[in-house]
């Protein structure tokens, strides 16, 4: 299924190829691919090079109990489709600067950049990441004894996309709906607030 973004301007192929599937093949992904995706996150930029991101990775074929535990932290809607993805990841960020203990107000921003780099790297490999806000952060904290200073911010699936026909009708429709974005000029301003570029 081709979900390539119909961009107004040319972008790197992997950026156009990235999308958020809900149908996944259950097959495990090669460990080398997983490490390559995570490595892309590792090299993201961050304020003061703090690298505040911390990712908990569960592979159904390697850590089945942890995988089931993380799946159970997702809201029921997300559990319904994420159940087939071979890898689940919990993105967290350290809330304070290492050594200083002062708040790091860019930590969530930086962690989003790391996740975005991972998603693009995954797309370049024919895999896809689907990020999720729909999970219970307190349940994840309790299930994995996540320390106070680390804040769970998003869950994500990683794997090879499967056919839309594997989903129920409503989800299959969403899986194949045209991809859309706000117009360029609503998002990017030229020199003055609200003046579309």
Ligand X SMILES: Cc1cc2nc3c(=O)[nH]c(=O)nc-3n(C[C@H](O)[C@H](O)[C@H](O)COP(=O)(O)O)c2cc1C
Q: What is the dihedral of CA 157, 160, 166, 168, to 10 degrees?
A: 30
Our finding on whether 134 is near ligand X (CB under 6 A) is yes
Our finding on whether 78 is near ligand X (CB under 6 A) is yes
Our finding on whether 46 is near ligand X (CB under 6 A) is no
Tell me how far the alpha carbon of residue 4 is from its chain's centroid: 18
Stretch of residues binding ligand X (CB under 6 A), selected from 100-108, 126-134, 136-144, 183-191: 126-134
Our finding on whether 197 is near ligand X (CB under 6 A) is no
Phi/psi-derived region of residue 101, left when phi > 0, alpha when psi is between -120 and 50, beta in every other case: left
Taking CB under 6 A as the criterion, the residue among 117, 132, 140, 150 binding ligand X is 132
Residue 81 tokens, joined: 């489709």
Q: Tell which residue, 35, 88, 82, 38, has the closest CA to residue 64.
A: 88
Our finding on whether 133 is near ligand X (CB under 6 A) is yes
Instruction: Report the residue closest to ligand X, judged by CB.
Output: 134
Q: Between residues 20 and 96, which has the closer beta carbon with respect to ligand X?
A: 20
Q: Specify the 3-state DSSP secondary structure of 41.
A: helix
The site for ligand X (CB under 6 A) is made up of 19-20, 78, 131-134, 154, 179
């Amino acid at each position: 299924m081709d979900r390539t973004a119909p961009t107004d301007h040319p972008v790197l192929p992997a950026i156009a190829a990235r999308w958020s599937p809900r149908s996944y093949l259950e097959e495990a992904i090669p460990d080398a691919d997983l490490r390559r995706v995570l490595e892309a996150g590792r090299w993201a930029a961050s304020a003061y090079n703090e690298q505040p991101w911390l990712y908990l990775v569960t592979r159904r074929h390697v850590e089945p109990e942890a995988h089931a535990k993380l799946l159970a932290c997702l809201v029921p809607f997300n559990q319904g489709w994420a159940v087939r993805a071979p890898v689940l990841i919990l993105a967290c960020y350290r809330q304070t600067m290492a050594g200083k203990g002062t708040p790091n107000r860019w930590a969530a921003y930086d962690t989003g950049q790391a996740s975005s780099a991972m998603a693009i790297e995954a797309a370049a490999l024919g895999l896809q990441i689907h990020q999720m806000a729909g999970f219970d952060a307190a349940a994840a904290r309790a299930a994995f004894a996540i320390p106070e200073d680390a804040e769970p911010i998003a869950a994500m699936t990683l794997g090879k996309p499967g056919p839309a026909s594997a989903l129920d009708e409503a989800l299959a429709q969403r899986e194949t709906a045209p991809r859309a974005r706000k117009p360029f000029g609503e998002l990017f301003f030229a020199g003055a607030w609200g003046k579309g570029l």
